A and B are shown apart, each in its own frame.
Chain A
Amino acid sequence: MPSDPHEQAEELIPWYATGQLDAADRALVDAHLASCARCQRVLAGEQVLIGEFQAMSPEIDSGWAQLRGQIEARPPIRPGIRESLAEFWELLKRPVVAAIATAQVAFVAAAALLFQWISQPTYVALGSGQAPNSANVIVMFRPDARESDLRSAIAGSGGTFVGGPTEADAYLLHVPANGREAAIGKLQKNSQVTLAQPIDGPQ
């Protein structure tokens, strides 16, 4: 900013003329204009110029039809996983939907118990149970990553999904011990991934 009050005021005159100065700037210009005939002429000239500029308006054809065509020709943008979960939660909070959902969950749970009871073997061999894989990698994604990005990143690393998202929006994966470093390397190179780290120490 110039130190000379005349230069300061002169610099601000265009915005003074269009009424776009804050109170402090306007007071500065007001004070200067009161005693500077040259700046008064400048201000008068600015107003002529503003009038000329505002009289100009190019008649560019509206391209709305073309833009609308572009939008409609594109596949719809899939919402991100956060938006999907948020929308689903909002839907679930509606009383009618919540009641139906609760009834359906109860029905599915009852059916699952019945199926398990019917299909239960009469004997169980030792070791026939499959222990769930334990998580050995934690991964976090960009906030705007889509569900398809998450799936392809996890599949591309050779890992399997174990849990998540956690409170911090992290996902837990299991990758084979002998391929873990390579899997983490692949995840870290993925542009949608913000963090990929082992969570049970080096193997």
Chain B
Amino acid sequence: MILNGAARRPRTEANRSSVLEENELLARVRARDLHAFERLYRIYQPRLARFLFNLVQRPQLVEEVLNDTMMVVWDTAGNFRGGSKLSTWVFSIAYRKAMKAKMRWPDPVEEQPFDPRVSNDPGPDEELEHQRLHDALMKAMNELSADHRAVVDLTYFHGLGYREIAEIMHCPVDTVKTRMFHARRRLKQAMSGQMFDWI
């Protein structure tokens, strides 16, 4: 199978050392080391911002929910016993906080002028094609429910397995698989004509 090797993203030494670093930082955070907490914040901020933006869809809410999440990490670092990965614990806090924030802002989001794509400086034709795909993808994502967006984002962007996602979202693993399956169908429908028949 041609795609097998490319499809897998094995855990590298860098992954392991970053997990070790994060756990060491958390131990220092338990001892109320603000410098260690800043370091931990800067490690998680980009990932959480991305995750939360997809969930709450309001850039102005992302920072608030992100900081609420990290404040819980600061306050309850001593409660983390290592039963799961630190990232699973942090993301599950963020997920709960985001869902609470969404209850305060229940109305659907209007089209945001916010463009989250990083430019790779492609040529004009490639850029146009890329832009079209990107726009269709953003529109398709916006039409999914928050739970479906969370599963898609945690899988595709954050590279998490379905068991870890189930832990973060406090739901059975079969629910994660079903959400992903339906989200992909919805994405396909919404992006009809933009990509080849991928599902």
A residues engaging B (CB < 8 A)? Answer: 1, 10-12, 14-22, 26, 30, 33-34, 40-50, 52-64, 66-68, 70-72, 76-77
Contacts and interface: CB of A to CB of B under 8 A. Distances in A.
Going nearest first, the 9 A-B pairs with the smallest beta carbon separation are: A45-B198, A19-B9, A19-B8, A20-B161, A60-B49, A53-B156, A58-B116, A63-B63, A58-B53
6 contacts: A18-B7, A33-B1, A43-B3, A47-B7, A59-B116, A60-B49
B10 A19 contact: yes
A46 B66 contact: no
Contact of B134 (A1, A52, A54, A70): A52
A67 B198 contact: no
Nearest to B59: A60
B34 A49 contact: no
B85 to A, nearest CB: 13
B63 A60 contact: yes
A21 B8 CA distance: 9
B111 interface: no
B40 to A, nearest CB: 11
Contact of B34 (A22, A55, A62, A68): A68
Per DSSP, chain A at the interface is helix
A64 to B, nearest CB: 6
Contacts of B70: 67
B118 A45 contact: no
A67 B41 contact: yes
B96 interface: no
Nearest to B159: A18
A15 B116 contact: no
B38 A77 contact: no
A59 B42 CA distance: 13
B24 interface: no
Given A40-B3, A47-B3, A48-B195, A58 B49 contact: yes
Contact of B118 (A34, A43, A57): A57
A41 B188 CA distance: 13
Of listed A17, A40, A55, A60, residue having the most chain B CB within 10 A: A60
Interface of B: 1, 3-4, 6-10, 32, 34, 37-38, 41-42, 45-46, 49-50, 53, 59, 62-63, 66-67, 70-71, 74-75, 114, 116-118, 120, 133-134, 137, 152-153, 155-157, 159-162, 174, 177, 180-181, 184, 187, 195-199
A64 B45 contact: yes
Contacts of B62: 58, 60
Given A54-B157, A67-B67, A71-B34, A11 B177 contact: yes
Contacts of A26: 8
B50 to A, nearest CB: 6
A88 to B, nearest CB: 16
A120 to B, nearest CB: 49
Contacts of A59: 116
A48 B136 CA distance: 14
Contact of A77 (B45, B75, B174): B75
A17 B67 contact: no
A64 B195 contact: no
A4 B196 CA distance: 25
A12 B184 CA distance: 12
Contact of A58 (B41, B114, B134): B114
Contacts of A47: 3, 6-7
A105 B85 CA distance: 46
Contacts of A68: 34, 38
